[in-house]
A = this chain, B = another copy of it.
Amino acid sequence: MWFERIVAEGLSHNSYMIGSAGKSAVIDPRRDCGIYVELANRHDAVITHIFETHRNEDYVTGAPELAHRCGAKICHGSHMDFAFGNKVRENDRFTIGTLELVVLETPGHTEESITLVLADTEVSRDPWMVFTGDTIFAGEIARTDFYGQEKKAEMAEKIYTSITEKILTLGDGVIVCPAHGAGSACGGEIADHPFTTVGYEKRTNPVLALGKEAFVSRRIAESPYLPQYFRQMETVNKEGPALLHTLLRVQPLTVPSVKAMIASGCQVVDIRSPTAFAAGHIPGSLSIWREGIAAFAGGFLDYEHPIILVDDFNCDLKTAFRHFMRMGYDNTAGWLAGGFAAWYRAAEPVGTVGACAVQDAKERLTRENVFLLDVRDRKNREHAGFIPGSHHIYVGELPQHLNEIPKNQPVIVYCDSGFKGSLAASVLALHGSSDVTNVLGGMQAWILAGYPVGK
């Protein structure tokens, strides 16, 4: 048999491919699905089945794209009405060569979530692996807040039951293959382990260790950040996304084109670093650094206005655009040819925001009457403490709280390390703040510098 784990970085999304005897199946494929066809070809295998453990919230499913390319059958849980694919139910069995996949219905993250138990009958009928989708992760349990406040308790109970009664009972030695790794928006504190096992989770998973009641109570109390693009993903993944060959090609755009597009309301995303953005950028652009695209673009961009990327040297834009494609931003138009330098070489106006080291921030705070804004997420503020005197608004919720920021007072913004702070500064600048400074190094540097920390 053969087994492959395919990671979509940024989203920390894992898809899996298993094969045996010329047949193969894909579990939770990403949208750029050429990799699965290539792997199948390399193994002289055809892809017969595509399984979706659940309707995803954080990325566009690749199932219809892959089915279009290879003719495989799409299977998903029965408790949702998808516009494509086939419903599968508890105990349904699928044979892939010597491999056998059995469906467990494991609601909680979504109502139709399923888990797939894999046995290799050539060795044993005992389960060898389990594909848990967004049910249990390494060190975490998936989010259960997608159905609104009134169903929080119900969904939390459901997922706890699904895990403890269906997954943990498979045996300690079963390898657990979840759909997300550390950094995913689908779970709070996923451990950075590519694989785990039932036994290891039983012993070490801190959320499991809470026990059912405490877990449900905590879930009722929590309101994790929900990026606005999740709603779009819900629709797209239920109705079926556009096939990739129907999308417009992204292309290099000249300075005049970019200006014209800005005039018509496009969205400019600056993927450079915080310092690069601070000392010069296209006025009105959002600062979402290269590695933050997957985690943050979906909180700030809409699906209508064309998206333009700005980089320094235009190296590896392919990867940057892939992030947008995976999140369904089929409205990406292109990139500024020549990088940001093309903009200032054309004598176009250059926007700036402040950036300073923690040493300078410290000094200004003692000297000036600034509005100090902490844009980290709530947990980090609680765990790591904060700079005394800071107001708190999570960067992802900043657009809804702009009126809380004084317009005529200098703003100093900080986050964990300086990246989200740059994004926040760009949001404020875009909405008219004229004196915003981002603290390079953020709370990490503040603590390392030995400055006072509030709790």
CB within 8 Å of B: which residues of A? 1-3, 22, 37, 40-41, 44-46, 69-71, 120, 122-124, 126, 128, 138-139, 171-175, 191-204, 243, 245, 249, 251-252, 254, 272-281, 289-291, 312-317, 337-341, 344-347, 349-350, 355-359, 417-419, 440-442, 444-446, 448-449
Chain B residues with CB below 8 A from A278, complex form? 275, 279-280
The residue that A357 contacts in the complex, of B195, B280, B337, with Cβ under 8 A, is B280
> Are B171 and A45 interface neighbours, CB within 8 A?
no
With A and B bound together, what is the CA distance between A254 and B21 in angstroms? Answer: 10
> Are A198 and B175 interface neighbours, CB within 8 A?
no
Nearest-CB residue, chain B, relative to A312? B273
Chain B residues with CB below 8 A from A195, complex form? 175, 195
> Are A347 and B448 interface neighbours, CB within 8 A?
yes
Question: In the assembly, how many copies of this chain are there?
Answer: 4
Chain B residues with CB below 8 A from A289, complex form? 313
Nearest-CB residue, chain B, relative to A47? B251
> Are A315 and B316 interface neighbours, CB within 8 A?
yes
Nearest-CB residue, chain B, relative to A359? B349
Nearest-CB residue, chain B, relative to A447? B347
> Are A252 and B440 interface neighbours, CB within 8 A?
no
> Are A126 and B200 interface neighbours, CB within 8 A?
yes
With A and B bound together, what is the CA distance between A320 and B66 in angstroms? Answer: 23
> Are A345 and B1 interface neighbours, CB within 8 A?
no
Chain B residues with CB below 8 A from A275, complex form? 272, 275-281, 312, 340
> Are B191 and A345 interface neighbours, CB within 8 A?
no
Chain B residues with CB below 8 A from A440, complex form? 280, 341, 344, 350
With A and B bound together, what is the CA distance between A441 and B255 in angstroms? Answer: 13
The residue that A44 contacts in the complex, of B174, B191, B290, B338, with Cβ under 8 A, is B338
Chain B residues with CB below 8 A from A197, complex form? 172-175, 197, 199
